[in-house]
Amino acid sequence: MTSTPAATAQVGVVGLAVMGRNLARNFAHHGYTVAVYNRTAARTEELMAAYGDEGFVPATELADFVASLERPRRVVIMVQAGKGTDATIDALAELLEPGDIVVDGGNAHYEDTRRREAALREKGLHFFGVGISGGEEGALNGPSIMPGGSAEGYKAIGPLLEDISAKYDGEPCCAHIGPDGAGHFVKMVHNGIEYADMEFIAEAYDVLRSAGLSIEEISATFRQWNTGDLDSYLIEITSEVLDQVDAKTGKALVDVIADSAGQKGTGRWTVQIALELGVPVNTIAESVFARSVSGHADLRAAGQEHVPGPAHSFDPADRAQLVEDVRKALWTAKVVAYAQGLDLIRTASLTYDWNIDVASVASLWRAGCIIRARLLERIRAEYAGHNLPTLLAAPSIIDGIAEANEGARRAIGTAMQAGVPVPGFAAALAYLDQVRAQRLPAALIQGQRDYFGAHTYQRTDAEGTFHTEWSADRSETKLD
Ligand code: ATR
């Protein structure tokens, strides 16, 4: 029989696959004693064998793991989302005591987080749904962290999370986002924007490649763009991916990777929730659909065989101009995706009473996470102290769109005429043109709806609700 361990650890991590292991090591590197537990003891043993001297208290029983934690106990769960998380929470809830804090660092759906938070609150436990972005490397060396949970619980867990987070100009990329599901919601939208960002970069690449630029030229172009306003992690890694030569064939790796993009679901969730909340996020939706098309083998085989394209080949007269125009299209689309994602967060915050500070969200994304980009500091500054109805109303963004306007339109128009698919770019431009339109054809849609379904309409010149007697004398009735 083993004796109960002394409570010496300030934080514990359950789940020691790559993310959990790296997060545990990150805590240890910041001077914390870290209790570690994994359902299968072999993973714990592996961690101890490789990094045992970094400051861990390993346990093979969950009860011993809990006993080794100082109070209030702080437990970070890094297990498989869904059933794994629920099973772990249930087991922990039996062992923890009121005032203890449970953090789910996985990519949970925010509705699950709301449910779990409410259930644990009943037991006096603080449950935190925490979005963590930055991949394996970020988890180890400083991720962007988006915590949602009670303000009281944050006092106990927040400082530790801020310690291990990425820093931007010395400021932690971690701040209390809001209660219950707020953190996981923001992380989900982060991922939605990430989908859009990646799609835009891929479209820029595709347009340039289709115009005859070599992979080397395109890689150099991205590297050049990365010294300006497009400076971002995703552009940086794009150059590296393009530079990679396949050892087996000697070809560019990008030419031997199968062109079917995977997804784990956070982009799809973003679009589903945006549909429910009525927030237009067409750039993110197109990015999710673009991945779907890429994986739809039958559809593509039929399309390749039967669907006609444009008559002329793509041979732009002025390549330098095209490159500059594509840069402007990329910048414009990126701004639209941020605007849409932040609009979704703002709307969810109002819907769920989360009181999310959009400037703070932008500040957390400036370092550590996958969408980290120079532009985010500007976005933070534009939102700070201003209640913007949309990012597109921010002065420096208006100037940027005006400056990019002509070139972006030319690039997108050229791509469409040449038959190069640019669903993300086109969605961004359509959105801009919709929101700036003085009149939308929605008036005609209202007329159609009234015609076939007596759905009624409003007039621009009078109060009230109206209906035209379409199948009779076509006179108009005022209904209220
Ligand atoms: P990977 O990240 O390597 O793909 P995973 O299947 O997503 O692995 O699991 C990640 C972590 O969740 C692992 O620590 C796993 O524990 P095991 O090492 O025992 O497989 C943990 N995990 C998954 N399901 C779990 C469950 N029902 N209860 C507890 N932990 C679970």
The pTM of this model reads 0.96
Q: Looking at residue 3, what is its pLDDT?
A: 75
Residue nearest atom 21 in ligand 1 by C-alpha distance: 79
Ligand 1 atom, smallest distance to 40 CA? 19
User: Is 187 annotated as catalytic?
Assistant: yes
User: Is 194 annotated as catalytic?
Assistant: yes
d(CA 405, CA 410): 9
Chain-centroid distance of CA 254 in Å reads 24
Share of the chain above pLDDT 70, in %: 100
Residue with tokens 């932690």: 172
Catalytic residue, from 111, 137, 152, 194: name it.
Answer: 194
Q: Looking at residue 363, what is its pLDDT?
A: 97
CB-ligand 1 contact for 42 (6 Å cutoff):
no
Q: How far apart are the first and last CA of the chain?
A: 80
Tell me the per-residue pLDDT of 174-219, one tens digit each, with 9 for 90 and over: 999 999 999 999 999 999 999 999 999 999 999 999 999 999 999 9
SS3 465: coil
Q: Looking at residue 1, what is its pLDDT?
A: 46
Fold of 442-478: 1.20.5
Contacts of 340 (CB under 8 A, 6+ apart): 196, 274, 279, 280, 281, 282, 283, 284, 431
- Tell me which residues of the chain have a pLDDT lower than 70: 1-2
d(CA 366, CA 255): 32
Residue nearest atom 4 in ligand 1 by C-alpha distance: 17
**421-442 CB burial, b ≥16 within 10 A, e <16:** bbbbbbbbbebbeeeeeeeeee
Residue nearest atom 26 in ligand 1 by C-alpha distance: 84
* Overall size of the chain counted in residues: 480
HSE (side-chain half, CA atoms, 13 Å) at 447: 7
Q: Looking at residue 20, what is its pLDDT?
A: 98
Are 11-180 and 187-436 in the same CATH fold? no
Torsion, Cα 224 226 227 230, to 10 degrees, reads: 120
Query: Residue 105's CB: how many other CB atoms inside 10 A?
Result: 28
Query: Which H/E stretch holds residue 14?
Result: strand 11-14
Q: Looking at residue 2, what is its pLDDT?
A: 58
Query: How far is ligand 1, taken at its centre, from the CA of residue 73, in Å?
Result: 22
Q: Which of 14, 39, 40, 104 to mutate to test the pocket of ligand 1 (most atoms within 8 A of CB)?
A: 39
Residue nearest atom 6 in ligand 1 by C-alpha distance: 80
**Class for the domain spanning 187-436:** mainly alpha
Tell me the per-residue pLDDT of 26-68, one tens digit each, with 9 for 90 and over: 999 999 999 999 999 999 999 999 999 999 999 999 999 999 9
Q: Which of 19, 43, 44, 80 to mutate to test the pocket of ligand 1 (most atoms within 8 A of CB)?
A: 80
Domain coordinates of the chain in residue numbers?
Answer: 11-180, 187-436, 442-478
Q: Looking at residue 4, what is its pLDDT?
A: 81
CA proximity to 286, closest of 430, 149, 147, 387: 430
Average pLDDT, the chain: 97
Tell me the per-residue pLDDT of 264-296, one tens digit each, with 9 for 90 and over: 899 999 999 999 999 999 999 999 999 999 999
CATH of 11-180, one of 4.10.520.10, 3.40.50.720, 2.60.40.1180, 2.60.40.420: 3.40.50.720
**Amino acid identity at 45:** E
The secondary structure of 364-428 as a DSSP string is HTTSSSTT-BTHHHHHHHHHTT---S-GGGSHHHHHHHHHHHHHHHHHHHHHHHHT---HHHHHH
